[in-house]
Amino acid sequence: MALTELTIIGRPCLAAYRPSPWALAHVTFYGDETASETMGGACGYGNLFSSGYGTDTAALSTTLFNNGFACGTCYQIKCVQSKWCYPTVKFTTVTATNLCPPNWAEDSNNGGWCNPPRVHFDMSKPAFMKIAQWKAGIVPVMYRRVPCVTKGGFRFKFQGNGYWLLVYVMNVGGGGDIAKMWVKGSKTGWISMSHNWGASYQAFATLRGQSLSFKITSYTTKETIICWNVAPANWNIGLTYSTDVNFH
């Protein structure tokens, strides 16, 4: 784990994420009890077990996915108005790790569950089975955005090459989402990173041989955190670097 110094821009006591009101949606599930089909996904988290998300995950319809800016957001979901609901279960909590794409070959009320403008969650089967019997297939739910409760700080997974740094940001607390990101080498100023897709940001720069720091702004709360010296000068592609700071 990298030892980092934290700088918070703004007033974090005002920036802390608060739950949203409850709203109506529907949920289905994909994959089987192993949740193997949920691994990977549009957010780019890869193996959801090793990246810390496990099986409590969901793919979001386009309306919720927000071009990938909703990756990492967290939701409480409770089954309602169905005989298949487990009446003793208040809710379960899932993290958005994938996109449920539209299926325009099917009617939006009969198979095209993720077609815009529907608000829909396609959950992993283990997550679905916490709130309803799997044979239901689809159930109405109430849902709300909630703060993401994480253990530890941000994790940065590096991909790319010597001239292109692609960073997947995982384990984001608070609102769970990211609006903007910058990287700073020990020999450079702050370099703005563009949103690639999902939870990944990229910089076209030569940063080899420099220790790297990152600045991250939350999409929801607009809070900005600077994580100094996240990766040492001998950082490498394919590795994940951890910090001890996070949103709340």
- Quick one: DSSP state of residue 122? E
Q: Work out the percent of the chain whose per-residue pLDDT is above 70.
A: 94
- Give the list of residues 6+ apart from residue 51 with CB closer than 8 angstroms, or none: 45, 155, 157, 170, 171
pLDDT at residue number 15 = 55
| In the chain, domain spans | 23-146, 154-243
pLDDT at residue number 240 = 95
Is the confidence at residue 179, as pLDDT, over 60? yes
pLDDT tier at 31, thresholds 50, 70, 90:
confident
Query: Can you tell me the mean pLDDT for 105-125?
Result: 94
Q: How would CATH label the architecture of 23-146?
A: Beta Barrel (2.40)
Is the confidence at residue 123, as pLDDT, over 50? yes
Please name the residue ranges forming H helices in the chain: 12-15, 62-65, 125-128
Higher pLDDT, 49 or 144: 144
CA distance 148 to 177: 9
CATH assignment of 154-243, among 2.60.120.10, 2.40.30.170, 3.40.190.10, 2.60.40.760: 2.60.40.760
The residue whose two tokens read 């996070």 is: 246
Contact assessment for residue 139 and residue 27, using Cβ atoms and an 8 Å cutoff: yes
pLDDT at residue number 137 = 93
The reply to whether 154-243 shares the fold of 23-146 is no
- Tokens for 98, please give them: 């994938």
